[in-house]
Structure 1
Amino acid sequence: MLDNSLLLRWGLISMFTIFSLQCKNKTPEGLPPADPDNGGLILPEGFDALVVADSVGRGRHITVNDNGDIYVKLSYNDIMNGGGGTVGLRDNDHDGKADVIAYFGDYKDEGGLPVGIMVHNGYLYVSTLRNILRNKLTPGQLIPDSKTEVILTDEDPDVRKHWHTAKPFAFDNKGNMYVPFGAPTDAAQDINTAGPAGMPGGKGLDPAPDLKWHAGIWRFDEAKEGQTQKDGYKYATGIRSVLGIAWNPADNHLYAVMNGMDNFHTRYSELYTAWQAAVLPSEPLLKVTDGSDFGWPYAYYDHLQGKNMLQPGYGGDGKKTGRTEKFDVPVFGFPGHWAPMELLFYQGDQFPERYKKGAFIAFHGSTDRAPYPQAGYIVCFLPFENGAPTGKWEIFADGFTGVDTVVNTSDAHFRPMGLATGPDGSLYISESNKGRIWRVMYKGDRNKFGESQLAKMEERKNRTYIKTPDEVKDNIGKGGVMNGLILYNSYCNSCHQRDGKGDNNRYPPLVGSDWVSGPRERLIRVVLNGLQGEIKVNGKTYNGVMPAHGQALDDHAIASILTYVKKRFNNQDSIITSAEVNKVRNSGK
């Protein structure tokens, strides 16, 4: 157990909670024994894994100190066991399991996505939505008690502009820190009229004003306190949203994995099919150089065609390239909506040598592929040769979903998030659902590792959450919550309001509504055909006009709206299907 004298201060408050676990002997190889089931992970032959800690809080990014101490940044404002939003883990008895779990840090993330955390040059750096902070670490001490230095502050007062503006960071070998400032809108719509997610058929602003202070990567001094974005150097532009960013010491270049735009079919149903919207646009790996421009919002990368394409908000139709030919091209493209969260260039000596030539990427998993299965939810390895991707990626760690088909994101048991290398070369993986931390180790013959050991992992590419879906066979036909959110804000928000509470006059609430929780067929018919005249909702009379949406919206769109309404406003885990809508549509009633 940790002595109470180690309760230290970070900022104003710093608290910790301690858990003791049983000691186990290390294996003859000097590595601790793996869990019998590898903690649920499926890995290439020769690798195994153990669960370092479980249920520590919804973990985002992760870092490991030279002495083996682990630090995890928790999601949003998670405050665990009365402590703070960062957790430190220590293995005192060297059995691979954390004996000490300590929570500290009193900073708040203001609803953003805290993703940045790294031990660098003796400091623990962390980021919130608006700040990058650092504390000097004391050797042998888990929790820092040094003065918190505010290295960077995002001064934009408009809270709407902080969508996609989490502050991950990377360091080069010259004292520089690189920080993305993501795009505050999905595709450069007018945020005042369309909101950050946009509306069906919406046009992009041209020129896009967001490009001045957003959708790019800025370079800063890694050690200078009190910097704002104006103190930085705009290193690259045309980059929508980056959460995984890393400096590659093999070629001394910056790399980033970008999250692509969403909902092509929801917004542009006349141009893109639901299948195209499920697999496009690509989630690309970018080699970011000084002055590079990857084309957001005018361009998106199509990995199926291997080139930049004109975004539909600027006249694109899936075939035109137009102005996009002048933009930089990604070095590799992964399937759409897989949500890359972390990028790591392995520098340890434990794994086979091939893993020093390439990149590990953690995919958090999609939210908006409906009516097709959600996809991603793996850690992959992308081999490099001669400083560039070979063109063939590999599954490195699988088993996170716990199910064969992810219909909605909530079906996945775990969602891989952070990656870090330990001092002995082990790979650590964090996840954001239940707060599990894995340690992946290699105990085979490094010189004999090759294609035969990877063969079984290649077979797993046929799983529904990994493969390219068949346009007909893999259409599940169920409404999607993310699609429903955008459509609701476009077609329902003006009357029923964004919070679903109605206007307390003509338009009834959806929150807790007996109509929403009532017969499904009646609810579908109202959206399809509209409704006029007096109705009673939760005992109160309303006399507004509900317009018919059957002509404007297809079956999947209506199913998505109603799935969203049931989940968001009535806490019903109930999915409306396209088949249900189609049956009511064709009933003649």
Structure 2
Amino acid sequence: MKSYNLPLIKILIFFPLFCYILYSCNPPPKFPPTSPNNNGLILPDGFGVLVVADSIGKARHLAVNDNGDIYVKLRYAKGTGSNVALRDTTGDGKADIITYFGDYNDEGSLANGMRIHDGYLYYSAARVVYRNKLVPGQLIPDSPMEVVLTDDHEHGIHWHITKPVSFDNEGYMYVPFGSPSNACQDMANKPGGIPGSTGIDPCPELIEHGGVWRFKMDKLNMTQKDGELYATGIRSVVAMDFNHEDKNLYLVMHGRDNLHLLYPEKYSQWESAVLPSEEFIRVEEGGDYGWPYCYYDQIKGKKVLAPEYGGDGEIIGRCADMEDPVMGFPGHWAPNDLLFYTGDQFPERYKNGAFIAFHGSTNRSPYQQSGYFVAFVPFKDGQVSGDWEVFANGFAGKELIINTNDADFRPMGLAQGPDGSLYVSDSRVGKIWRILYKGDKTTFGEAELAKMKGQKLVANIRNPHPEEDNLDKGQLPEGKKVYNTYCSPCHQRDGNGAKGRIPELRNTDWVTGDKSRLINIVLNGLEGEIEVNGELYDNIMPAHQFLTDKQISQVLTFIRKNFENNASSVSKEDVAKIRAKILK
């Protein structure tokens, strides 16, 4: 008579049933359908994307609540509100309730910052950090709008005064106070300063700017004096996040501009296009990261002395004592948000790593513009564990971007949803994407990442070739040479400017009208609010008195006869007369 192992038989019989019950109780997450062809985005295999909302307004930062409600910071739109709340009530992943709130003047594109912390929605104008208490289940907070922090300094909005906020686990809030200049040079209130001018030493801007301040969250209506300087030598910050795994604050700094324009004898146009680095910084208490005296050269892998302080791209000098970043990205990519991923939806390699939204360059002329994508930096045990990767590309709709306005969309803000989805906002028209992982996490590896390695070589990401990619190679009319060197970094090569920041030069009386006014603007600069073709601008144009009368006549004649303009020429005698009046 045969003997049977009854316990083993029971296991064999009931184990499949147990697995079925377990699967039924804990089925894999159900995601809404993703967009065909990922809505044009290029992602690692296994990822999909859907469009949550489109054309909600020029979106900046965003945050997602525990119930999936999305809050987006917008550029100020009078009468509609500077915030928008989105809710999906049907489960298809698309917002069917879109409500605007928060009608306060936030001074346009300089307003960034949207966080949910400790039951409050925090959002920032250019000078003020506000908050509202969130009520569970209620989309629009009807609690009083409280003032958390006010920037009470006297300065114009051309300063880098964005107010992104981050919070640690010990009751502190971190806020950057940016500085306006490239390197604290003379005429520091004029972007770029005078070509060849020396930097002020010691830099007075570092007293109340150029760093990150820490505030104890125990009261409202604070000013900078209620906080403490946490770290210095940091020029301008839009992307900042607290890494709760290693308990450190991180940021990605906007580097300085115009190395060739200001120091043509020291830097080539190519060096000015790719340098200096956008620095990914682990912010240590009491740290000094070198600005304005130093900048990080990601090609050489070291900090070097800025030209305003005697540097030439090689000299290290005092920079040997400054803190290095954990990583350096190519110049002018405009890092505009940073997020440490803590969700479980994505494959394990993304856990606790950093996503960075690069808004894209405006001033790489005569080379193609670069950036316009979302990068990923892997971390392990609180340390960077590999090189940066392209996580999502295709926002611009094309690989070769010559002018900023060529890009269809520009990634701006990042947020993590309660299910681990990654949300990305667009600053041009206000598109919101939700990126999901729908593959097998256990098999995700090099094969799924293979195509993304090739994305590092596409035109909007790779370093340009010094000769082959120079858009000015060959002979150019003298006026266009001057324009491409001194004007196109802001007004763009096509004269279309950058909406909300730099006015266009097409079909406007500012260009085709009174020659004397136009010459005065070039010689004296322009500051204050102006209206160009129905759009308001409140930036600053620096004086260009360093240009010769002939150069000014050439460049003004060029713009008055191009970009769909057809106005009379400007002679060097016209320029000389006005220059003489200015010098009296």
The answer on whether the counterparts of 2:186 and 2:194 sit within 8 Å (CA) in structure 1 is no
1:456 aligns with 2:459: no
Q: 1:324 aligns with which of 319, 325, 335?
A: 319
AA in 2 matched with 1:37: N
AA in 1 matched with 2:399: D
Deviates more, 1:310-319 or 1:111-120: 111-120
Q: 1:46 matched to which residue of 2?
A: 46
AA in 2 matched with 1:175: G
Q: 1:11 matched to which residue of 2?
A: none
Q: CA deviation at 1:487?
A: 9.9
Task: Give the gaps of 5 or more residues in structure 2.
Answer: 1-26, 473-479, 492-501, 523-543, 567-584
* Shift in CA distance, 209/548, structure 1 to aligned 2, threshold 3 Å: closer
Q: 1:91 matched to which residue of 2?
A: 88
Q: 1:263 matched to which residue of 2?
A: 258
Q: 2:74 matched to which residue of 1?
A: 74
Percent sequence identity over matched residues? 53
Q: CA deviation at 1:314?
A: 0.5
Q: 2:216 matched to which residue of 1?
A: 221
Q: 2:12 matched to which residue of 1?
A: none
Q: Once superposed, what is the RMSD of the aligned Cα atoms?
A: 3.0
Q: 1:188 matched to which residue of 2?
A: 184
Deviates more, 1:108-117 or 1:401-410: 108-117
TM-score, scaled to structure 1: 0.79
Q: 2:438 matched to which residue of 1?
A: 443
* Shift in CA distance, 342/144, structure 1 to aligned 2, threshold 3 Å: same
Q: CA deviation at 1:483?
A: 3.8
The answer on whether the counterparts of 1:379 and 1:395 sit within 8 Å (CA) in structure 2 is yes
The answer on whether the counterparts of 1:151 and 1:223 sit within 8 Å (CA) in structure 2 is no
1:164 aligns with 2:160: yes
Paired residue secondary structure (1:297)? coil
Paired residue secondary structure (1:396)? strand
Q: 1:155 matched to which residue of 2?
A: 152
Q: Residues 407-556 of structure 1: matches in 2 within 5 Å?
A: 407-477=402-472, 483-484=486-487, 511-513=511-513
Q: 2:226 matched to which residue of 1?
A: 231
* Shift in CA distance, 112/510, structure 1 to aligned 2, threshold 3 Å: closer
Q: CA deviation at 1:421?
A: 0.3
1:254 aligns with 2:249: yes
User: What CA deviation, in whole Å up to 9, does each residue of 1:216-238 have, x standing for no partner?
Assistant: 00001235201100110100000
Q: 2:294 aligns with which of 260, 284, 299?
A: 299
AA in 2 matched with 1:88: A
The answer on whether the counterparts of 1:39 and 1:438 sit within 8 Å (CA) in structure 2 is no
1:57 aligns with 2:57: yes
* Shift in CA distance, 191/500, structure 1 to aligned 2, threshold 3 Å: farther
The answer on whether the counterparts of 1:112 and 1:128 sit within 8 Å (CA) in structure 2 is no
Structure number with greater Rg is 2
Q: CA deviation at 1:249?
A: 1.1
The answer on whether the counterparts of 2:40 and 2:394 sit within 8 Å (CA) in structure 1 is yes
* Shift in CA distance, 122/561, structure 1 to aligned 2, threshold 3 Å: farther
Q: 1:103 aligns with which of 92, 100, 104?
A: 100
Q: Residues 122-141 of structure 1: matches in 2 within 5 Å?
A: 122-141=119-138
User: What CA deviation, in whole Å up to 9, does each residue of 1:138-161 have, x standing for no partner?
Assistant: 11111110011111001012326x
Q: 1:272 matched to which residue of 2?
A: 267
The answer on whether the counterparts of 1:368 and 1:483 sit within 8 Å (CA) in structure 2 is no
Q: 1:387 matched to which residue of 2?
A: 382
Q: CA deviation at 1:196?
A: 2.8
* Shift in CA distance, 482/62, structure 1 to aligned 2, threshold 3 Å: farther
Deviates more, 1:113-122 or 1:103-112: 103-112
Q: CA deviation at 1:403?
A: 1.7
AA in 1 matched with 2:341: Y
Deviates more, 1:111-120 or 1:375-384: 111-120
User: What CA deviation, in whole Å up to 9, does each residue of 1:311-342 have, x standing for no partner?
Assistant: 00111100100111111110100000000000
Q: Which runs of 4+ in 1 moved over 3 A?
A: 478-483, 485-488, 498-501, 513-516, 546-553, 557-563, 570-574
Q: CA deviation at 1:186?
A: 2.1
User: What CA deviation, in whole Å up to 9, does each residue of 1:333-391 have, x standing for no partner?
Assistant: 00000000000000111000111142000000001000000000000101123422234
User: What CA deviation, in whole Å up to 9, does each residue of 1:191-240 have, x standing for no partner?
Assistant: 46x61332321221111000000000000123520110011010000000
Task: Give the gaps of 5 or more residues in structure 1.
Answer: 1-26, 489-497, 502-508, 517-522, 528-545, 575-589
Distance of 1:461 and 1:280 partners within structure 2: 17
* Shift in CA distance, 30/365, structure 1 to aligned 2, threshold 3 Å: same
Distance of 1:481 and 1:87 partners within structure 2: 39
The answer on whether the counterparts of 2:342 and 2:352 sit within 8 Å (CA) in structure 1 is no
Paired residue secondary structure (1:87)? strand
1:377 aligns with 2:372: yes
Q: 1:287 matched to which residue of 2?
A: 282
Distance of 1:175 and 1:387 partners within structure 2: 21
AA in 2 matched with 1:36: P
Distance of 1:548 and 1:206 partners within structure 2: 23
Give the paired residue count: 494
1:346 aligns with 2:349: no
The answer on whether the counterparts of 2:275 and 2:331 sit within 8 Å (CA) in structure 1 is yes
Paired residue secondary structure (2:51)? strand
Distance of 2:55 and 2:402 partners within structure 1: 24
Distance of 1:369 and 1:376 partners within structure 2: 11
Paired residue secondary structure (2:36)? coil
